[in-house]
Chain A
Amino acid sequence: MLPAAVRGIVPANHMLQAHSPLWHYLWVAPNVLLLLLVAILWRRGVFRSQPTFLWYAIGTAVVELVDYATDISPAVSSESWWLIFKIGAIIEGLLKFILIGAIFGQLVSDYSSIAALGRFLIRAAGVTLILAGALIAALAPQDSLFAFVKNAHLMQQSVFLVVTGILLFIFWFAGYFRLKFPRLDFWIALGLTLSACVHLATWGIAVNAGLPDDKRTMLDFINMGTFQVCVVLWFYYLLAPHRVSTKPVPIPKEELAVWNRELERLLQR
Chain B
Amino acid sequence: MTIAILLVVAAVVCLVFVYLAVSRSRQLDGERSLAGIQPIDIDAFRNLVDPREVDYLRRSLPPPEFRRVQRKRLLAAAAYVRTAKQNAEFLVQVGQAAQASASVDTAVAARHMVDQALRLQRNAFLALLRIRAASLWPHEGVPATPVLDTYDRLTGSAMLLGRLQNPAAPMRITS
Name the A residues within 8 Å of B37 (CB-CB).
255, 258-259
Stretch at the interface among B9-17, B64-72, B73-81, B135-143: B9-17
Min CB distance B47 to A, Å, is 12
What is the CA–CA distance of A110 and B96 in the complex, to the nearest angstrom? 11
On chain A, the number of residues with a Cβ less than 8 Å from chain B's Cβ atoms is 63
Q: Is B60 an interface residue (CB 8 A)?
A: no
CA distance A208 to B22 in the complex (A): 31
A214 within 8 A of B: no
Residues of B within 8 A of A (CB-CB), count: 64
State whether A208 and B3 are in contact (beta carbons under 8 Å apart), knowing that A175-B24, A248-B100, A263-B155 are contacts in the complex.
yes
* CB 8 Å contact bits of A240-269 with B (1 = contact, 0 = none): 000011111111111111111111111111
- Is the beta-carbon distance between A258 and B39 smaller than 8 angstroms? yes
1/0 per position for A201-244, CB-CB distance to B under 8 A? 10111011110000000000000000000000000000000001
How many A-B residue pairs lie within 8 Å, measured between CB atoms? 184
Residues of A at under 8 Å CB distance from B? 110-114, 117, 136, 139-140, 157, 161, 164, 167-168, 171-172, 174-180, 190, 193-194, 197-198, 200-201, 203-205, 207-210, 244-269
Further pairs besides A201-B12, A249-B94, A249-B97: 19, Cβ < 8 Å: A113-B116, A114-B122, A136-B3, A140-B3, A157-B7, A168-B18, A171-B17, A175-B24, A175-B25, A204-B7, A247-B100, A251-B94, A251-B166, A253-B169, A256-B162, A260-B159, A261-B39, A262-B39, A266-B152
